[in-house]
Structure 1
Amino acid sequence: MLRFARLTLILTAVLVGRIGLTQVVIDAGHGGNDAGATGFWQEDMVFEKDLTFAASVALAEALELRGIYAYQARQGDQTLPLSERVARATRHCPGGLFISLHVDTFTDSQTTSGGMRFFSLNDRGIKQTLPEDVNPKRLTRYREHAERVSAQMMNYLHDAQWRYFAKIERRNFQVLHNTACPAILVELGMMNNKHDMAWLNDPDRLAQRMDGLAQAVQYYLQSEKEL
C-alpha cells in the first residue's frame, strides 16, 4: 500500500511538471571530469561530485513525495558546463525554483563550525548578467524569493545547532546567473568537518536533511504568490 501511494504521488508530480506547472530544478554541483572538493571519510577519499549527486537524488525523492516535480540537471556522473546548468534551469524552472547543491572546504578555523550556507546572487552579479529584455526589478524579486526560501530552509533544519550555524549570503556565482526563476546555491557542509562528513555519508541522515529542505520548498510554494 505504501509503495502504491508513493508511486501515485510521483506519477502525479511528473504529470504536473510536464504540463508546465511549478517544478524545482536541482543542480548537483560538479560531476564527470570535475570532482570538486575532496575529503576523507573512514580512510576513503570522497569527492564533492558524489556527495552532491546523492543529495540531489534524496532531495528529488523528498520533493516528489510531496507532489512537487523535481528535475535533476545532472543525471549521473557527467561533466556539465555551468552554462548548460543555467540553460537547463531556464528551460525547466519557470514558476518554480533552481537549487544548486555543493559541499565546501576550508583550511582555517571555519572548519570547526560546519553547517549549511545559502547563497543568492548579489547586486554585481545581477548587473553583470542582466539580459537586455529582462527588467532588473524582476531579477531583484527573484532574489527576494530565493532568500525567503533559504530562510524557510533554515527553519526546517531538524537540528537546533544546525540552525545556529546556518547563514544566508549573497555572492556572484555564475550558476545563479540568468535563471528564469528564484535561484539558490546551498553549501551543504564542509568536506573537512567530521560532523558534516558523517551525515553526508549516511543515507538515512542525508534523507532526513533533504526532507527538511523539501518541507521548506513545499511551504514556500504553497504560501507565496506567483512572480
Structure 2
Amino acid sequence: MTTIMLDAGHGPNTAGKRSPDGVLREFHFNNAVAQLVKHHLVKEGMTVLFSHNEQRDVPLAARTKLANQRNADAFVSIHANAYGNSWNSANGIETYVYPSAMKQSIALATLTQNALIIACKRRNRGVKKANFAVLRETRMPAILIECGFMTNREEAALLLSNSYRQQCAQAIASAITTWIRRGKR
C-alpha cells in the first residue's frame, strides 16, 4: 500500500504568512489543496496522511518525524509563495528538492512542476534546490511546492479561488499517481 504524507505548509496561526491585504492566509490555501489532493489520491487506492493540524501550528521537526515514523513513500509540502510583504510583480510556480536529493525526489518534483504549469498556465519558475527542513529531515522522496505568490495581486486572487485550488490539487495528485505507477522514477 502506497502512503503519501501531505503537508499543508506552516500552520493556521503562523505569523506573517498572508497576503499584504490580509485577505489570504497561506495555511488556508495550503490546507484546502491538501484536502483536495487527498481526495484524489484516496480514489487511486493510496493511504494519505497529514503532517499538519488544522487547529494549531505543528513544528517542522514533528512533521518530518511523523513522516519518517510512518515510513511514507513520499512527503509533499504544499505552499503559496511570497516576495516581501507588499504587492509586487513576482509570480509563477516552483517546486523544491533538497540540494543532494535522491533521484526519486527529482523525478517527483519534475512531474509535479510540469503538471502544475500545464494545469494552471502560470510562469514556470522551475525545479529548484533548497535546504528546507522538511526536505532535509525526511528519509523518503520529498518535495516542496510553491503554487503562486500571495504578494502578486493576480495570483493572490487565484489562490483564493476554488477553481485554481482544484487545478493545483488535480495536477499534484496526477503527478504523484504517475510517479507511483512509474515505480517512483
Counterpart residue identity of residue 104, structure 1: N
Identify the residue that residue 3 of structure 2 maps to in structure 1.
23
Q: 2:99 aligns with which of 96, 110, 122?
A: 122
Q: CA deviation at 1:218?
A: 0.4
Rounded to whole Å, the distance in 2 between the matches of 1:33 and 1:176 is 22
5 Å matches for 1:175-190?
175-190=134-149
Cα distance change on mapping 1:35 and 1:117 into 2, 3 Å: same
Q: Which has the larger radius of gyration?
A: 1
Instruction: Flag as ranges the 4+ runs of structure 1 deviating above 6 A.
Output: none
Cα distance change on mapping 1:160 and 1:44 into 2, 3 Å: closer
Counterpart contact for 1:28–1:100, Cα < 8 Å: yes
**Could you say what secondary structure the match of 1:172 adopts?**
coil
**Could you say what secondary structure the match of 1:166 adopts?**
strand
- For structure 2, the 5+ residue unaligned runs are none
Counterpart residue identity of residue 87, structure 1: K
Counterpart contact for 2:83–2:151, Cα < 8 Å: yes
Cα distance change on mapping 1:44 and 1:81 into 2, 3 Å: closer
Q: CA deviation at 1:159?
A: 4.1
Q: 2:27 aligns with which of 49, 54, 60?
A: 49
Identify the residue that residue 85 of structure 1 maps to in structure 2.
63
Q: CA deviation at 1:103?
A: 1.5
Counterpart contact for 2:108–2:184, Cα < 8 Å: no
Q: CA deviation at 1:55?
A: 1.5
Rounded to whole Å, the distance in 2 between the matches of 1:160 and 1:104 is 15
Q: CA deviation at 1:106?
A: 1.0
Deviates more, 1:149-158 or 1:185-194: 149-158
Cα distance change on mapping 1:59 and 1:160 into 2, 3 Å: closer
Paired residues, number: 183
Cα distance change on mapping 1:225 and 1:150 into 2, 3 Å: closer
**Could you say what secondary structure the match of 2:156 adopts?**
helix
Q: CA deviation at 1:113?
A: 4.5
Rounded to whole Å, the distance in 1 between the matches of 2:112 and 2:184 is 18
Identify the residue that residue 102 of structure 1 maps to in structure 2.
79
Q: CA deviation at 1:194?
A: 2.3
Rounded to whole Å, the distance in 1 between the matches of 2:54 and 2:120 is 33
Q: CA deviation at 1:86?
A: 0.6
Cα distance change on mapping 1:160 and 1:73 into 2, 3 Å: closer
Rounded to whole Å, the distance in 1 between the matches of 2:46 and 2:16 is 29
Q: TM-score, normalised by structure 2?
A: 0.87
Deviation per CA, 1:89-113: give whole Å up to 9, x if none: 112244x1101112121149x9435
Q: 2:166 aligns with which of 207, 213, 217?
A: 207
Rounded to whole Å, the distance in 2 between the matches of 1:36 and 1:122 is 27
Rounded to whole Å, the distance in 1 between the matches of 2:6 and 2:42 is 12
Higher percent of residues as helix = 1
Q: Percent identity at matched positions? A: 23
CA RMSD of aligned residues (A): 2.4
